[in-house]
Chains A and B, each alone.
Chain A
Amino acid sequence: MVQSTGSSSARPMERFRRAAAGRTGMLVALALVLAAIVVVAIVKGVPGTQLLSLFVRGVLLGGTLALGAIGVTLVYAVLKMANFAHGDTMTLGAYLGLVVVTLLPKGAPLAPFSFGYEFLVALLLVIPAVGLIAFGLDQLAFRPLRARRSQSIMFAMAALGLAFGIRSLVYIFWGADFTFFYTGRARPAVELFAGVRVRPDQLFILGLAVVLIVGVYLLLERTKIGKAMRATADNSDLARISGIDTKRVILWTWLIGGGLAGAGGMLYGLDVQLRPEMGWWLLLPLFAAVILGSIGNAYGALAGAFVIGIVWQMSGAFINPVYSQGIAFLVMIIVLIVRPEGLFGGRK
């Protein structure tokens, strides 16, 4: 075979780009980013335990992010729509949870956590409630657009309208200030290992997130409706042709997506705080996770959420934490430029 030996500078560049865009290239790049963060942190004199703590915090945050990211990616998979209202759906969940917690008679905290039975009751109520509300909003705002085969911008505008509408309701009822599920409760940290300190609440949050995610996995893989959702996401016309009731599929998509978002909002509120902008500020990391994990891919969203969470927390070691969200954004931009189909994509 004749090998041309032309040494135009374009050739190695092109090969490098193609390699970088390949899946392994992406993974290597991610590993390099993480390594770079670690190196910079060490150079700046950040102690190892703190780095490790931040890593663990990143994993915890990733679990919460995953709840939102899976919802975003499921809605996209089935309905082919980027739901910009998803962040504020999480906000809605958090504040509805706050309503329940406030209304119920206050019980003692369930040691070693800082929350009481009210929080658990709130979770049980909020998850289906937000799922149903999300479905209701879809029927009101998005279904007519689907029937009309509107352009994607109409969906985005409608979603933005819903997002700001939800947020304005929160502002109206609770004001602009931040608040907590439980004020004035001690939230001591325990040592996990090697000097890494986490709060028991955070372990609960991660645990619950894992439980919910496993639940979604089982639903998608083992149940009929889950398979119908995957089929509809794969080829919606053929799903119809096979007799799958797309209306039910859409209902379950919103129930799951909205429910997870509601849970994610409550958990985030428990860990950090509640404020009306909380969901909107999570929108960017959510989409970064989803895009990194290939939009439409639930497992990718899970992986992406953990990566984003870790990068977000760890970069806070040496840059102003306000901007560490910007790091997530940067990762997303890099993915979009180099390999827009994400880590797991193979679609055109």
Chain B
Amino acid sequence: MPLLTVERAVAGYGEMQVLRGVTLSVGEGEIVSIVGPNGAGKSTVMKLIFGLLKPWEGSITFDGRDVSGTAPEKLVRLGLSYVPQVDNVFPNLTVEENLDMGGYIRNGSLAEQKERVFELFPRLAERRKQRAGKMSGGERQMVAMGRALMLDPRLLMLDEPSAGLAPLLVDMIFDKIVEINRTGVAVLMVEQNAKKSLALANRGYVLATGQNQVDGQGRDLLENPEVARLYLGG
């Protein structure tokens, strides 16, 4: 049984509908990538899953339980973690404090988790007392992901992790995503950089105008000429 399923989700902001029936699933330990043109509703799906929006129709299931519209505070306890595309760090808090916030709901010491994050991102270890808001884009993204990993989530959701990063850093971030996945964390990511993200994904979904268009194995989608022409920007 998949870890996360979204069934025919319909949702929007205020009166404006964005999702017109989206279905997807993420299995244990998988990397799943959502790609598609701008305005397709990719970020909206993420916000919907993480309880920042309520679904108008459809359902969301995580680990066997219905979590449609459940508040983020509760989802975090179930093992779901989310990195938004923007404003994804606490700018006036240090790197270390950002990680502390990530592990907030856990009582007791967070030292072990922090060490693991610092092993994953050695750059952060050097800068643990630096304010997150003063760091470069790539470092901020690392802090953002580190924060999300503090509770050992089962599923990590990333909204455009490579956005605004230089190509070298993009590769680095994707390498890290693979590394994280190897420790058993499933990853669901929305990505503008369709090629690179589909290359490392087990499976992918192509979304456009709030609906599923194509889905399949990551590699297959990459090599599918139709998909490439319509959605991957050549």
Contact = CB atoms under 8 A, between A and B. Distances in A.
A96 interface: no
Nearest to A235: B90
A234 interface: yes
A241 B104 contact: no
B90 A240 contact: no
Contact of B50 (A230, A235, A241): A241
B84 A231 contact: no
Given A242-B101, A242-B102, A235 B87 contact: yes
Given A243-B76, A244-B73, A238 B90 contact: yes
Interface residues of A, number: 16
Interface residues of B, number: 24
Given A230-B92, A234-B92, A239 B87 contact: no
A224 B147 CA distance: 16
A24 to B, nearest CB: 19
B152 interface: no
Contacts of B77: 243
* A-side interface mostly: helix
B105 A241 contact: no
Contacts of B92: 230, 234
* B-side interface mostly: loop
A244 B84 contact: no
Interface string B74-112: 001100001010011111110001001110110000000
B72 interface: yes
Interface in B123-161: 147, 151
Contact of A238 (B73, B87, B105): B87
A191 interface: no
A244 B87 contact: no
B108 to A, nearest CB: 11
Contact of A237 (B73, B84, B104, B105): B84
Given A241-B82, A243-B73, 12 more contacts: A227-B101, A231-B90, A231-B97, A237-B84, A238-B89, A238-B101, A239-B101, A241-B76, A243-B72, A243-B151, A244-B73, A244-B101
The 3 closest A-B pairs by CB, nearest first: A243-B76, A234-B90, A243-B105
